[in-house]
Every structure is written in C-alpha cells, then in structure tokens.
Amino acid sequence: MRSIFLCLFLMLGPVSFTFSQCAIYVCTETGAWAASYQDGTPPFLNMTDTKKQAYDECVKSGGRNCTFFYSAECNKCWWAFIIGYDDTSFNYMANYSYISQEDAVKTLKEAYKANGGVGYYSAKVTTWYMP
C-alpha cells in the first residue's frame, strides 16, 4: 500500500493544486494601471510577489501614486478590467468569469454602468486568461 501511495505522490507531485493569483494596482492621478498574474509558467509567485510585480509595473507605466486596487485567486478564468475617465477622475472596475471572455466583459460592463459608469462609452476594457 505504501508503494502505491508513493507512486501516486511522485506522479502527482508536480501538479499544482493552488489557485492562480492576480493583483491590480492603479494610479488615480495619471490613469496608469497594471495587473500581474500567473500564466501557468514558472516562476510561480505567491500573492505578495504578485502584488509587488503589479505595483512595479504600474510605476513603470507612468503611475506616480500607484495604489492597490484588487486581487483574487482563480483557476481557468477570464479577467476583465475597465478604465473610464471624465474631466475630473479615472474610474476602474475589475471582475472575472469562469464561463468565457465574453461573459467577463459583459458582466463587467453591466456592473460598471450600474455603478455610474464614468466615461462609459469611451471606457477601455482589457481582458486576460489565467490557466
């Protein structure tokens, strides 16, 4: 019995049973933002490292005051992020869907519009997949 358990452990050992992490930082002054997430390839980051990477990328993309916006863990999901702007401020929203990319975008746009939808018609949506 021990040898069967050991065989199964050795065969399944490399399989990851953890969720993929995603973190988003935004800068409300410049509109810069960045997301860091696992794409299924090494190096595998923990949430602390994922957040640090998102912060660093936000600063690199022009953020002067990047702040933590959102993080979550999921596997095999589509993420959607929207940024809208009016004359005074940037607005952000993010969500994810296990169903499809289209579902992630649709539910994001509906929620964004229902919550005021600053710059709704010119807002930019970005998506990505986390395996």
Confidence band for 130, pLDDT divided at 50, 70 and 90: confident
- For residue 91, give both structure tokens: 């607005």
The predicted model scores a pTM of 0.80
> What CA dihedral angle connects 24, 54, 126 and 32, to 10 degrees?
90
Peptide bond into 42 cis (omega under 30): no
Nearest to 20, CA basis, from 43, 53, 47: 47
Nearest to 72, CA basis, from 90, 43, 98: 98
Query: Per mean pLDDT, which range of 37-46, 101-110, 120-129 is the poorest?
Result: 37-46
* Domain boundaries along the sequence of the chain: 19-130
